[in-house]
Chains A and B, each alone.
Chain A
């Protein structure tokens, strides 16, 4: 067995770290406070080809896989962006490019992939609804056939990045949930031209004020009589679940990567402070009550990383990766939370000051235990699907 990262992934780590070296913690703090997209980093990542890593070479990308995307996400996150990095790699390189490369028609790939590879075009993904969060198969946004078109009505929530997206992957039902047998049947994913849909009045959105991760707004989305041509279906009508798995597993893996990087940066901040801050005539890190939580986080980070890379490698090799992705997500977001909490406790009262980065790290880490799927649902998957325990729902 060989645990060395492939050269491609090592190149990604070096290259992305090089880009990120020009942006410090204050830069990321400013983006968060000003609630603005990190345009400068985005442009630099685009220039070096770091956004198109998983786009096939014939469409202008680097022809790499999810492992390289995960390493890029982790590196960006660990450089100081923490939670914000998730959106930079999940929304467009993940939701958009990775999914289109696997499920797009020739025309869709031709039209969109080259622009997704350069970051010139961005995407977002709309699945969650007010009454269908954890239970995503229960969505009720419905696409009704009308001649050769579809007309869509419904409501979505927590849809991140709509403001910048040229295309939205909109998940709908073409068979209502109560009539679908099995329940995974009757889902259809559309590629919606966002500015066009907004102009036509079929799509409106409203940002939700939120606790952290403010570099990108998350929105309520309202779909009213949105008319879409059949050519905008991604994958097959009624068989959208195949597309969905290939969105949700990479999403978990990339969010796990972001969480892992967030854990690393929180640990670094905590350890630095524990070395510098002196109380009772010695650095506080000399006290085991301070040192051990940090040491434990280090162990959690290394464990999560192993599972993260295994999950990404499985996806790239066409192997089942649902369980691995879930475990990676569970472990990494837990590590991020524990790391942020340990860094917070290490900083004592100063942690509460927004002049230190710890409060931001803590707020960002908290959402990782809930989005895109709660810890409880991840454990449910392990309990019922892996251990064969009886279902409660």
Chain B
């Protein structure tokens, strides 16, 4: 089975993240790049499926030059090879542009199964899996907390507000995972050393038949109009219990639509 895992390098959520004032895109140099956390679960699931069913795991990452660190980490976890979609023309692509570029790369690589995290910690649109499925004409199995494969059938437990749905499709398919699905492994010493020798192919937009007029900041369908720093946390509301504390706390939560 040919499994492709999409991984994204995101700024470390533990550090201060910034947008660049000149083009309102993420300042990727301002923070340390780490593997998007949910994508680590995707890598782990891909490795488990490979261990159970055989095949090969290819990492696909679209991003600037420094995304190679993220690719190496996925390879250190145990993926076999990687494709780095890297071209200055891709800078600033929105979800539609990104899904187009990634889907073109996926067509080029070929796949039985595409796995990715259900959202990234930077843009957080959570739409990529659905868009990819649409563009690839493959079934979308999103928010998976469990994946089973039998022959060409793929069964997924898809989390919902009320529990989970059991959904089934046939391969090739696109799956996005949630953190409930597994516990990602740490790269081992041998894994890290071996990762240095694993092949990483770099694709530019021409290599992946990506039309320049459909990607990049200038061709994005969505636009960041303005941005501002989050306001500092305001003083909290203190409810002093005078016998009706519970009721007033509930009222407060209801007024904020938490309950």
Contact = CB atoms under 8 A, between A and B. Distances in A.
Contacts of A64: 189
Contacts of B188: 15, 47-50
Interface stretch (B80-88, B133-141, B190-198, B232-240): B190-198
Nearest to A13: B192
A49 B189 CA distance: 6
A276 to B, nearest CB: 13
Contacts of B221: none
B41 to A, nearest CB: 14
A8 B186 contact: no
B33 interface: no
Contacts of A53: 189
B126 interface: no
B187 interface: yes
B189 A15 contact: yes
Contacts of A50: 188-189
A14 interface: yes
Contact of A62 (B76, B187, B189): B189
SS class, residues of chain B in contact with chain A: helix
Contacts of A8: 193
Nearest to B12: A21
A8 B188 CA distance: 12
B186 A44 contact: yes
A11 B189 CA distance: 7
Nearest to B69: A14
B190 to A, nearest CB: 6
Interface in A1-47: 7-8, 11-12, 14-15, 18-19, 44, 47
Contacts of B192: 11, 14-15
Interface string A152-166: 000000000000000
Interface residues of B, number: 11
A5 to B, nearest CB: 13
A47 B186 contact: yes
B189 A19 contact: no
B67 to A, nearest CB: 16
Interface residues of A, number: 16
Among A11, A49, A50, residue most surrounded by chain B Cβ atoms (within 10 Å): A11
Contacts of A15: 76, 186-189, 192
Contacts of B76: 15
Nearest to B195: A11
Interface in B50-78: 76
Interface string B134-165: 00000000000000000000000000000000
Nearest to A50: B189
Contacts of A48: 186-189, 191
Nearest to A61: B189
A33 to B, nearest CB: 24
Interface string A48-61: 11100100000000
A271 B188 CA distance: 32
A53 B189 CA distance: 8
B193 A7 contact: yes
Contacts of B185: 47
B104 to A, nearest CB: 32
A50 B188 CA distance: 7
Among A14, A19, A64, residue most surrounded by chain B Cβ atoms (within 10 Å): A14
A44 B191 CA distance: 15
A18 B185 CA distance: 10
A302 B96 CA distance: 48
Contacts of B190: 49, 62
Interface in B159-181: none
Contacts of B193: 7-8, 11
A269 to B, nearest CB: 15
Nearest to B185: A47
A367 B82 CA distance: 48
Nearest to A57: B190
A110 B230 CA distance: 60
23 contacts: A7-B196, A8-B193, A11-B189, A11-B192, A11-B193, A12-B189, A14-B192, A15-B76, A15-B186, A15-B188, A19-B186, A44-B186, A47-B186, A47-B188, A48-B186, A48-B188, A48-B189, A48-B191, A49-B188, A49-B189, A49-B190, A50-B188, A64-B189
Given A19-B186, A47-B188, A50-B188, 9 more contacts: A7-B196, A11-B192, A14-B187, A14-B192, A15-B189, A48-B186, A48-B188, A62-B190, A64-B189
